[in-house]
Structure formats: C-alpha cells, structure tokens
Amino acid sequence: DTGVSQDPRHKITKRGQNVTFRCDPISEHNRLYWYRQTLGQGPEFLTYFQNEAQLEKSRLLSDRFSAERPKGSFSTLEIQRTEQGDSAMYLCASSLGPAKNTEAFFGQGTRLTVV
Amino acid sequence: GQQVMQIPQYQHVQEGEDFTTYCNSSTTLSNIQWYKQRPGGHPVFLIQLVKSGEVKKQKRLTFQFGEAKKNSSLHITATQTTDVGTYFCATGANNLFFGTGTRLTVIP
C-alpha cells in the first residue's frame, strides 16, 4: 500500500465555482478525517467518517461543504460556491478504529486557491 | 471539540541546543499524539501517550504526559538541522483535534 493519496494536488478555481477533492485512504483503515490547514496554522478539523458513516462535522463547516464516503473506502469533499476564504490546504488522513485513536496517516493534501 | 494550546509558537535554537514544546488543556485528555510537519510537507505521526505520567523516548526525543493528563511536552536533546519543522500535539476520544503547533528553526 502506498499510503493515503489525494487528488488533485493543486486546484485553482474562480470564486463561485464548485470543487471536489478525492481521498483514497489506506485500504484497511476504517476512519477517515478531513482537515483544512492555512499557512502557519495547525490542521483544523472538518469532519470524520467511521466506515461509510459521517460521525462528526465541525460547527465551523458551512453548508457549502459536504463530504461523502459512499462505500467506506474513498471519500470526496465538495465545496460549493467557493469563496476566497476557502483557499487553503485540504488534508485527508486515515487510521484504524474504532476502539481507540491510533496513528493517523496523512495524504499530501490538495492545495486550493480561489481567485 | 477538545482544545489544546501549544507554547511557544516559534522557537529558534542553535544546532546542538535543546528544545521543548508544551501542550496544555483545561480539561482531562484521553490521549495525546505528537506529529511533525516539515516545511511543505504533511503531518507525520511521532507517538501516542495514553497513561497518566507516561514518558516515552525515541532517540533524542522525549515525550511526557502529565500526571493530571492535562498537559504534555516534547523535548529534543541536541537539536540537528533535520529537526526543523512544526511540531503539533493532537488529542480526541473519537476524532482528532490538533494544537496550534510550535515551529522549530535550527540555526547551523
């Protein structure tokens, strides 16, 4: 297994457009997390899945953001009507679960620039 | 979600000097994880602590979990240029919340 992969690595979009990012976790990992990170800040929690169930969503996540993990494998994060403030690195991570938190493996991230 | 604060925000050290970053919470934590993020890279897991007063070592790195499970520290002995990066603590019973990080610069 090559680890967590994210696609695309970079995305430039015009304000108001919709974007979708994909994350392929490590195959045997049940948990999948999405984070947003801006320059000089720590990863900000967005949401996480246990298999296909979305168990928690940050209060900071507006209704323009939606995430899915339809078959409990890969996940997508969609941002509708993008705004300049959405520009950030979007990180995906996966880990074994659910009994207790274990090591989270991060992907390389998708860098979004909204112009 | 649980919040953890890290201090200092930045630290510049001369190569060979020691470095410590602290992670603090106002509530009891179920666990603490530590990650390192190199410039331009993604966070990479270093270690997890779960027991009160736990101490773990990885070569020049020493990790501690406070007796009250409200704070943790990461200490690097004799820093090297390869230690450069941002060190994050993270915690959570089910999800995983990250601290603000300490950015370490090592001057050769």
E-state strands within A1-115: 5-7, 10-13, 19-24, 31-37, 44-50, 53-57, 65-68, 75-79, 88-95, 105-106, 110-114
Q: pLDDT value at position A61? A: 80
Q: Please tell me the distance from the alpha carbon of residue B1 to that of residue B27, in angstroms, as a whole number.
A: 11
Which tens digit of pLDDT belongs to each residue from A29-54?
Answer: 999 999 999 998 999 999 999 999 99
Interface contact flag, A103 B44, Cβ < 8 Å: no
Residues β-bridged to residue A6: A23
Q: Please tell me the distance from the alpha carbon of residue A21 to that of residue A90, in angstroms, as a whole number.
A: 9
Shortest Cα distance, chain B CAs vs residue A18, angstroms = 25
Tokens, residue B11: 């630290």
Contacts of B1 in chain A (CB under 8 A): 45, 58
Nearest chain A residue to B2, by CA: A45
Q: pLDDT value at position A99? A: 53
Interface contact flag, B42 A58, Cβ < 8 Å: no
Q: pLDDT value at position A100? A: 55
Q: pLDDT value at position A60? A: 75
Q: Please tell me the distance from the alpha carbon of residue A105 to that of residue A32, in angstroms, as a whole number.
A: 9
Over its length of 108 residues, how does chain B's per-residue pLDDT go in tens digits?
568 999 999 999 999 999 999 999 999 999 999 999 999 999 999 999 999 999 999 999 999 999 999 999 999 999 999 999 999 999 987 788 999 999 999 999
Cα dihedral across residues A96, A98, A104, A108: positive or negative: positive
Interface contact flag, B42 A91, Cβ < 8 Å: yes
